[in-house]
Amino acid sequence: MNIIVLHNVVPPDAPPDEQDNLIEARYVADGLEELGHEVRLLPFGFNMAETAALLRAEAPDLVFNLVETIEGASTWSYLASALLEHLGLPYTGGSKDNLYITTNKVLTKQLLRSKRLPTAPWNAKAAPGHLSFPPPYIVKPVWEEASVDIDDHSVFQDGPRAVASLAQKQHRLPGGYFIERFIDGREFNISVLPTPGGPWVLPPAEIRFLDYPEDKLRLVGYRAKWDDTSFEFHHTVRTFEFPTEDAFLLNRIKDLTRRCCRLLNLAGYVRVDFRVTPCGQPVILEVNSNPCISPDAGFFAAVTRAGLSRAEMLSLICQDAMHRRRMPSRYDFNAVALPARLEIG
């Protein structure tokens, strides 16, 4: 097959979260080539007429969509899938609607709350004295991913300071910011991989905060993800090992993940992030369509934990894309032998 891997335009001086998109694109391209496909990397920017002309000329059998930002902003990431739908090309991952909804954290939270799924209370246009929920508060970008502009300085113990920070930051990034109740508790990531039998909820992962001082916030912020010189980077550790008493909580989180996917009609591969309150109640933080699948990302760690290789992961993602477009059988990927412990639904 002729496959194009679509990715961000990444300048040489881009921050590490954007540089990671190139690592991801090359990793996916290498995996697809190992499967025997012809692969070309193609950056996607605002010049969509030029990109459309290149795609028409290339006429790929499939596009692997890894676009996360345009000119450094997540606000426009859904435009890549919108163009691919317009051109009638099969592509991997979420639809334009999936990406628009899940990238907009406030819209996602509104939909979750409408179906009574647990999400932290929030306020997008707060005024002093008008926050309807108690502290602590966290000020977060509405659209950005990868913990952009989230660290200890984003959390406040009193409303006026949180509101002042919101007003100060509101125009720093496209789409602005909102205030959310900060849940000080355990953090979990649940990844979902498409299979011919339906979505596969992969083994749950917990992010543990090792040797954190008592007065330090337990927060997976930008430094924890991207600054390899920081305390946070070296002391936030992913684990798939849990005591037996966590079984009920893990099943509850997996069930909420399935409900998120059904509610939002999500296609492709997905990751849902949770916090668990001190009394043991899971709260949905974010729903991520097309989460990062770099070799060091949480999604691929869950894939590995489930017993699959990179080739098997990519084959399932591509099979899903071709099936949704109902492409001719000559384009089918080789069947993937899934582990006996496969959990679908």
**Which pLDDT belongs to residue 111?**
96
Tell me the mean pLDDT in the region 244-268: 96
The model's pLDDT over 8-43, given as tens digits with 9 standing for 90+, comes to 999 999 999 999 999 999 999 999 999 999 999 999
* 336 pLDDT more than 80: no
Assigned domain for 104 exists: no
Tell me the mean pLDDT in the region 179-208: 95
Residue 245: exposure state from Cβ atoms within 10 A (0-12, 13-18, ≥19): exposed
One domain for residues 170 and 263? no
**Which pLDDT belongs to residue 115?**
93
One domain for residues 192 and 325? yes
* 183 pLDDT more than 80: yes
* 327 pLDDT more than 60: no
* 344 pLDDT more than 60: no
One domain for residues 190 and 175? no
Pairing verdict, β 270-276 and 155-156: unpaired
Assigned domain for 218 exists: no
**Which pLDDT belongs to residue 330?**
43
**Which pLDDT belongs to residue 124?**
83
SS3 state at 14: coil
**Which pLDDT belongs to residue 175?**
86
The whole-angstrom separation of Cα 337 and Cα 340 is 9
Assigned domain for 221 exists: no
One domain for residues 62 and 175? no
**Structure tokens, 1:** 């097959």
One domain for residues 126 and 148? yes
The whole-angstrom separation of Cα 231 and Cα 212 is 9
126 and 162 in contact (C-beta within 8 Å)? yes
Residues of the domain holding 124: 119-181
How many domains is the chain partitioned into structurally? 3
**Which pLDDT belongs to residue 338?**
58
The whole-angstrom separation of Cα 191 and Cα 179 is 26
* 72 pLDDT more than 90: no
One domain for residues 52 and 133? no
Assigned domain for 138 exists: yes
Of 39 and 334, the structure prediction assigns the larger pLDDT to 39
One domain for residues 137 and 199? no
Assigned domain for 139 exists: yes
**Which pLDDT belongs to residue 70?**
92
Assigned domain for 342 exists: no
280 and 245 in contact (C-beta within 8 Å)? no
One domain for residues 83 and 31? yes
The mean pLDDT value of the chain amounts to: 92
Omega within 30 of 0 (cis) for the link into 136: yes
Task: Provide the β-strand partners of residue 280.
Answer: none
One domain for residues 164 and 49? no
pTM of the full predicted structure? 0.93
**Which pLDDT belongs to residue 339?**
57
The model's pLDDT over 107-140, given as tens digits with 9 standing for 90+, comes to 999 999 999 999 999 998 766 567 889 999 999 9
